[in-house]
C-alpha cells in the first residue's frame, strides 16, 4: 500500500499536513509494509503554483505514483472527483504531522 500526504515542507514524516491538497509544497509518499511504515520519499508538488487547476495537476502527479490513499486538510472538487473515480481513499486530516496522518488512516482501516 502507498499513501501520499500533501505536506508543507520537505520534513518527510515530520512535515505538517498541508491545508489544501493542490497547494501543498510537497508530497510525502509512504510505503506501508504489513501494518508498518516502510520507505518514505518526498517529491515537490509540480502544480502548486499554477494559476488555475492546481488540484487537478496535483492529483494527476500523485496518481502516477500508484497510491492507494491521499491525505490533506482539504481537497478541491476536481481533485476529489479524480481520486474517487480512480478508487483512491481520501483522508481528511487537520494540521498534524504526516506520520500521524498515516497512523490515523491505518487505525481507521483496522476499525473498518
Percentages (nearest 5) of helix, strand, coil residues in the chain: 35, 35, 30
- Give the pLDDT confidence of 31-44 residue by residue, as tens digits: 999 889 999 999 99
pLDDT of residue 112: 58
pLDDT of residue 63: 97
- Give the pLDDT confidence of 22-33 residue by residue, as tens digits: 999 999 999 999
pTM for the whole thing?
A: 0.93
Q: Which of 59, 50, 57 is nearest to 82 (CA)?
A: 59
pLDDT of residue 110: 85
Q: Considering all CA atoms of the chain, what is the largest pairwise distance in Å, rounded to the nearest integer?
A: 40
- The DSSP call for residue 65 is T
pLDDT of residue 90: 96
Helices of type H across the chain: 54-63, 77-86, 98-111
C-alpha cell at 19: 491545508
CATH class of 2-111: alpha beta
The percent of residues above 90 in pLDDT, for the chain, comes to 80
Q: Are 68 and 88 in contact (CB under 8 A)?
A: yes
Q: How many CB atoms lie within 10 A of CB 10?
A: 13
- Give the pLDDT confidence of 50-93 residue by residue, as tens digits: 778 888 999 999 999 999 999 999 999 999 999 999 999 999 99
Amino acid at each position: 500500500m502507498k499513501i501520499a500526504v500533501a505536506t508543507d515542507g520537505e520534513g518527510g514524516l515530520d512535515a505538517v499536513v498541508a491545508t489544501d491538497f493542490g497547494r501543498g509544497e510537497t508530497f510525502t509518499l509512504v510505503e506501508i509494509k504489513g501494518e508498518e511504515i516502510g520507505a518514505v520519499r518526498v517529491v515537490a508538488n509540480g502544480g502548486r503554483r499554477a494559476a488555475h487547476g492546481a488540484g487537478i495537476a496535483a492529483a494527476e502527479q500523485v496518481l502516477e505514483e500508484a497510491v492507494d490513499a491521499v491525505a490533506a486538510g482539504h481537497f478541491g472538487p476536481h481533485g476529489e472527483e479524480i481520486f474517487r473515480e480512480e478508487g483512491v481513499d481520501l483522508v481528511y486530516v487537520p494540521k498534524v504531522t504526516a506520520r500521524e496522518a498515516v497512523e490515523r488512516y491505518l487505525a481507521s482501516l483496522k476499525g473498518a
